[in-house]
Structure 1
Amino acid sequence: MPKITVLPHTELCPQGAVIEAEAGTTICDALLKHDIDIDNACGGVCACTTCHVVVREGFKTLNEIDEDEDDMLDRAWGLTPQSRLSCQAILQATDVTVEIPKYSINLAKEGHH
């Protein structure tokens, strides 16, 4: 079972964490299952960027980024070459290390309509 190392995040995971998840699971689902409350305003359908993560290790072991995810990532705060939407990043058999950015663009949470 692959492990996800989550680097410390001030609000969501102050101490960092190491969790296990089944291969074939999205990073977002694995985090939520382990009480790391990453934003996911669209419910995991690749329609926002609130679940954006930076994959610090194991990026190339995840499924390929499709065109919809690539287009959506262009809107993410703090975009890097190792950015993924955690709702679209599917774990394989290899461990990964992720960083949850300090900010996310969540217009619903911020009161915009």
Structure 2
Amino acid sequence: MKIIILPHKKFCRYGKILKFNKLYKKNLCDFLLNNNININNNCGGFGRCVSCSVFINEGFSFFEINYLKLNYTLSCQFYDLNCNIIISIL
């Protein structure tokens, strides 16, 4: 499975494809940080600051509809990655 990160001037200049083999239990923010994508994480992953927001361009249909609003989510609150997604860091 893979996460495709679209290019962003500050965080991932040329975009990146990150691969993982099975269900990833940690949150998306930790996954990005562990793979050298220095996403903002001002509150330490408690979902209070909204600095780690991402837009899910593709793959959002695999998640519960009440979990996402307009395809935006906090990466620190996005757990159990189990499918291919394409994201934009906001």
Using the size of structure 2 for normalisation, the TM-score is 0.84
What is the correspondence of 1:1-113 to structure 2 with a 5 Å cutoff?
2-21=1-20, 22-62=23-63, 65=67, 81-101=70-90
How far apart are the structure 2 equivalents of 1:18 and 1:88? 21
User: What is the deviation of 1:20?
Assistant: 2.1
Which residue type is aligned with residue 82 of structure 1?
A: N
State how many pairs are aligned: 87
RMSD between superposed Cα atoms in Å: 1.9
Structure 1 unmatched ranges of 5 or more: 71-79, 102-113
- Off by >6 Å, runs of 4+ in structure 1: none
- Counterpart contact for 1:61–1:92, Cα < 8 Å: no
The percent identity for this pair of structures is 32
Structure 2 unmatched ranges of 5 or more: none
- Counterpart contact for 1:62–1:91, Cα < 8 Å: no
The one of the two structures with greater contact order (alpha-carbon pairs below 8 A, sep at least 6) is 2
SS in 2 for 1:60: helix
How far apart are the structure 1 equivalents of 2:75 and 2:63? 11
User: What is the deviation of 1:58?
Assistant: 1.1
Change beyond 3 A, Cα 1:25–1:3: farther
